[in-house]
Amino acid sequence: MTVITALPDAEAACRRVANLLASYIADARQLGNQVNVALAGGSTPRRAYQLLADMEGSWDHVHLWLGDERCVPDDDPESNALMVEEEICKRARATPPVLHRISHYDRPDDAAWAYGMEIIEAMGPEPVFDFVLLGLGEDGHTASLFPGHPAAAAEVAPVVAVRGAPKPPPDRISLTLPVLRRAKKTILLAAGDEKREPLDRVLAGDEGVPPGRLGAGLDEVVCDVAAHPG
Ligand SMILES: O=C1O[C@H](COP(=O)(O)O)[C@@H](O)[C@H](O)[C@H]1O
């Protein structure tokens, strides 16, 4: 069952996400475990990452991955990794976490293959992330899995190349739905009234939007009341 946590505003939703991540990271630290976290890009989670960086004291055991990446140079403002680097790694109060960036941004197939191999080397042939944070596009995409795009149907590899994405930039890579479903904890963050319609579809299990196909693999939706008036 998916828990829905609807909070007064985006700031409160981001704080909830930061708290969830911080407590997951702290539990793993106590158990002496490495923790593999896949993060959302885009604009909504930026504040959650700032709050997390300000509250977290130790990142030694944390590996950050990208749930999806835009195929752009490392220093391009559209790069999801650049956002994570700025808001978490550069703000970290201790040695920063390991951030796994993509390579071959100019060749999406090679980028997807290499990132998939890196994930398999770290987590085995059927990779299980400890924590996945997903976003939600106005068109109902999550990570870089867009409604009706063939990449959203990819099942075999952990990572798929996405060409011709309807939202720029057109070339991307994305974790595939089976990997998102298998994660130990998967949270979706959505804020703003422009996310209301796609979020309704996700919560109704509408398979026309990729996150609507996560089923029981989606543990919690954290949103503001603009996205989910209830
Ligand atoms: O392009 C992307 O969009 C989604 C949603 O982003 P937002 O700006 O509406 O929060 C994001 O989850 C994804 O990681 C990103 O590449």
pLDDT digits (tens, 9 = 90+) for 42-76: 999 999 999 999 997 789 999 999 999 999 999 99
Q: Which residues of the chain have pLDDT under 50?
A: none
Give the pTM: 0.98
Rounded to the nearest whole angstrom, what is the distance from the C-alpha of residue 144 to the centroid of ligand 1? Answer: 8
Domain total in the chain: 1
**Predicted pLDDT at 56:** 79
Task: Kindly state if the Cβ of 95 falls inside 6 Å of ligand 1.
Answer: no
Q: Is residue 229 part of a domain?
A: no
Rounded to the nearest whole angstrom, what is the distance from the C-alpha of residue 80 to the centroid of ligand 1? Answer: 9
Task: Kindly state if the Cβ of 79 falls inside 6 Å of ligand 1.
Answer: no
Indicate the top mutation candidate among 71, 83, 102, 142 to test ligand 1's pocket, ranked by most ligand atoms within 8 A of CB. Answer: 142
Alpha carbon nearest to ligand 1 atom 1, residue:
42
Q: Is residue 47 part of a domain?
A: yes
Identity (one letter) of the amino acid at 171?
Answer: D
What is the ipTM metric for this complex? Answer: 0.99
CB 68 within 8 A of CB 159: no
Domain of residue 141, residue span: 3-224
**Predicted pLDDT at 57:** 79
**Predicted pLDDT at 230:** 80
CB 112 within 8 A of CB 120: no
Q: Is residue 230 part of a domain?
A: no
Q: Is residue 216 part of a domain?
A: yes
Phi, psi of 223 (to 5 degrees): -150, 175
CATH number at residue 40: 3.40.50.1360
pLDDT tens digits along 137-164: 999 999 999 999 999 999 999 999 999 9
Rounded to the nearest whole angstrom, what is the distance from the C-alpha of residue 76 to the centroid of ligand 1? Answer: 15
Q: Is residue 42 part of a domain?
A: yes
Is 94 exposed, middle or buried (CB count within 10 Å of its CB: 0-12, 13-18, 19+)? exposed
**Predicted pLDDT at 65:** 98
Task: Kindly state if the Cβ of 46 falls inside 6 Å of ligand 1.
Answer: no
